[in-house]
Structure 1
Amino acid sequence: MKLNLKRPLAFFDLETTGTMIGLDRIVEIGIIKVNPDDTEEVKAWKVNPEMPIPLETSLIHGIYDEDIADAPTFKAIAPEVAEFLQDCDLAGYNSNKFDIPMLLEEFLRTGEPFEIEGRRFVDVQNIFHQMEQRTLKAAYKFYCDKDIKNAHTAVADTRATLDVFLAQLQRYENTEWEDKQGNRSIPVVNDVEALHKFSNIHRTVDFAGRMVYNDQGEEVFNFGKHKGKLVTDVFNAEPAYFGWMMNGDFSLYTKRKLQDVHQRWQAARPPRPAAQPQQPRPQPAKNNFQKPQHPKPDHQPQPKPFRKPEETAKPVNEDMLQMLANKFKKG
């Protein structure tokens, strides 16, 4: 089928060191560019992420540290990748949520210009999920070839769920399945224990998915700033996080499971050393020297009142008489 294109549409996929867009790095890029004339151009690059690839990630995509030890860094190939994708619309599987943000993050990190404004994005996974809905109604139609009567009433939906389950057991009997690590098994069998293990995909600790189990069966946070970290490691690094969650808007069951982990963590902590009794500080030696006391007299001398010294009278002279005459002289 020829695609109706006005400009190239580049399908691409990334293999990375992990799924944290702000932290992980690209280790491989594969691009198939479909041109308007229906011709294709294919390019691929191995990339040195400048960080170790976790073993659990290598087991999924098969790329190990030694495979990319001599590969160029993304900064070295960024101009070539940007040129190859120039004027292209972008397409992929889950690309809107992962591949495009991851690719853009690498370009921004290196400073290589790569504009996404004006491009069109086609996410094949979103088309799949939109057209093949994962509702009970869709499942009932797919497995039982029937329409639910009285949908969204509790008993009718419950009956439909049971019918779908029975049809699944018949449909997938002896059907082989391969997990992400390449292990093959026949998981859908008429056994509740086996179906419990197979249907709990995310291995949640608390059903709400705030905590999940890792491959070693340890509790790991599955949200927020500590996503992917062991719950006990967070308790060690940030003890107040427990109180924040217990007082936060989380489900009661999440809080119960968190409290279980916290109590186990507290019990496993080494006991704190007993506080040593404080020795009394030595007091400085007192100086026994006392200032000699002088006896005070029984009667204190009273201060004498101040008196203005008396002036000697001056004899009357002619000038004084003239002054008096002038003073009492009538107009």
Structure 2
Amino acid sequence: MNFVAMDFETASAKRYSACSLALTVVRNNQVTDEFYTLIKPDTPFFWRNTQIHGIHERDVADAPTWPEVWRHIEEFYDKSKLVIAHNASFDNSVLRACLEHYELPTPQYLTLDTVKTSKKFYPEFPNHKLNTVCEQLNIDLHHHHNALDDSLACANILLTQADQFGADRLKPFVRIQG
């Protein structure tokens, strides 16, 4: 399998308030690369978001803005590439909102949501939150709500599902985004 797992953290309820992003690149069923950055959002921080992920306004004071980050990662988003996330509707909406906010073109790409695959393949789990799925599948999740740890965990969930059920059983979950 070849894909990129993405995870955003946001500074507030505004979807374009991305304050961190991680990408975990998988090629031939192996994690081959990781990318993590803080992002200086165009919004103030809300205390509840900071409480969840631990990122403060002072942490991103010297961080790149979204347009600067996008220049480094846009190659991962094209119609031939699969980008996954755990609760992909959230992460895809953050990406779209950031691009729209900064008036950048929105690409088309393939996407898959590991919440949906987990609900299908593991209906007996008590819930399908990232930390629960990882615990049930014995996947390490060091710091939940750290974007890099979350994207790596998401990648490992999909790799586990591909191993247990076969990659063909995952294909119906792939959607076109953008």
Q: 4+ runs of 1 displaced by more than 6 Å?
A: none
Question: Could you say which structure has the higher helix fraction?
Answer: 2
Larger radius of gyration: 1
| 1:289 alignment counterpart | none
Counterpart CA distance in 2 for 1:99 and 1:69 is: 23
Q: How does 1:1-331 map to 2 (within 5 A)?
A: 3=1, 8-21=2-15, 24-36=16-28, 38=30, 40-86=32-78, 87-95=80-88, 97-116=89-108, 119-133=109-123
**Code of the aligned partner of 1:99:** D
Counterpart CA distance in 2 for 1:50 and 1:19 is: 12
Q: Secondary structure at the match of 1:120?
A: strand
Counterpart CA distance in 2 for 1:74 and 1:132 is: 36
Against the structure 1 CA distance between its residues 94 and 84, is the aligned structure 2 distance closer, same or farther, given a 3 Å change threshold?
Answer: same
1:109 CA displacement? 2.2
Percent of aligned pairs with the same amino acid = 19
**Code of the aligned partner of 2:61:** A
> Which stretches in structure 1 are left out of the alignment for 5+ residues?
140-179, 182-331
Residue by residue over 1:148-187, the C-alpha shift from the partner in whole angstroms, topping out at 9 and shown as x without a partner, is xxxxxxxxxxxxxxxxxxxxxxxxxxxxxxxx99xxxxxx
**Code of the aligned partner of 1:133:** P
Question: Could you say which structure has the higher strand fraction?
Answer: 2
Against the structure 1 CA distance between its residues 133 and 47, is the aligned structure 2 distance closer, same or farther, given a 3 Å change threshold?
Answer: same
| 1:307 alignment counterpart | none
Counterpart CA distance in 2 for 1:108 and 1:10 is: 22
Contact 1:78–1:112, Cα closer than 8 Å, also in 2: no
Residue by residue over 1:258-307, the C-alpha shift from the partner in whole angstroms, topping out at 9 and shown as x without a partner, is xxxxxxxxxxxxxxxxxxxxxxxxxxxxxxxxxxxxxxxxxxxxxxxxxx
Aligned alpha-carbon RMSD (Å): 2.6
Using the size of structure 2 for normalisation, the TM-score is 0.62
Contact 2:12–2:43, Cα closer than 8 Å, also in 1: no
Using the size of structure 1 for normalisation, the TM-score is 0.35
How many matched pairs? 127
> Which stretches in structure 2 are left out of the alignment for 5+ residues?
127-143, 146-178
**Code of the aligned partner of 1:90:** V
Counterpart CA distance in 2 for 1:71 and 1:84 is: 21
